[in-house]
Amino acid sequence: MVGSRDILLDTGPLVAVLDSADQGHRDCVGLWHELADRCLTTEAVVTEATHLVGRAGPASLPLELLLAARIPVVSLERAGHEHAVRLMRRYAELPMDYADASLIVVADALQLETVFTLDRKGFETYRRGNRSGFIVLPKR
Residue 2: what pLDDT? 64
- The stretch 6-18 carries a mean pLDDT of 97
Partner residues linked to 42 by β-bridges: 74
CATH of the domain at 96: 3.40.50.1010
DSSP state of 3: G
Identity at 77, one-letter amino acid code: E
Partner residues linked to 137 by β-bridges: 116
* pLDDT tens profile 45-64: 999 999 999 988 899 999 99
Closest listed residue to residue 101, CA positions, set 125, 135, 65: 125
Residue 61 is part of which domain span?
A: 2-137
Does the pLDDT at position 137 exceed 70?
yes
pLDDT bin (cut points 50, 70, 90) of residue 140 is confident
pLDDT bin (cut points 50, 70, 90) of residue 15 is very high
pLDDT bin (cut points 50, 70, 90) of residue 3 is low
Burial of 26 (0-12, 13-18, 19+ CB in 10 A): exposed
Report the alpha-carbon distance of residue 83 to residue 100 in Å, rounded.
12
Residue 139: what pLDDT? 86
For the chain, helix, strand, coil in percent to 5 are 55, 10, 35
Report the alpha-carbon distance of residue 120 to residue 55 in Å, rounded.
24
- The stretch 91-105 carries a mean pLDDT of 97
Does the pLDDT at position 22 exceed 70?
yes
- The stretch 62-90 carries a mean pLDDT of 98
Partner residues linked to 8 by β-bridges: 40, 115
Number of domains in the chain: 1
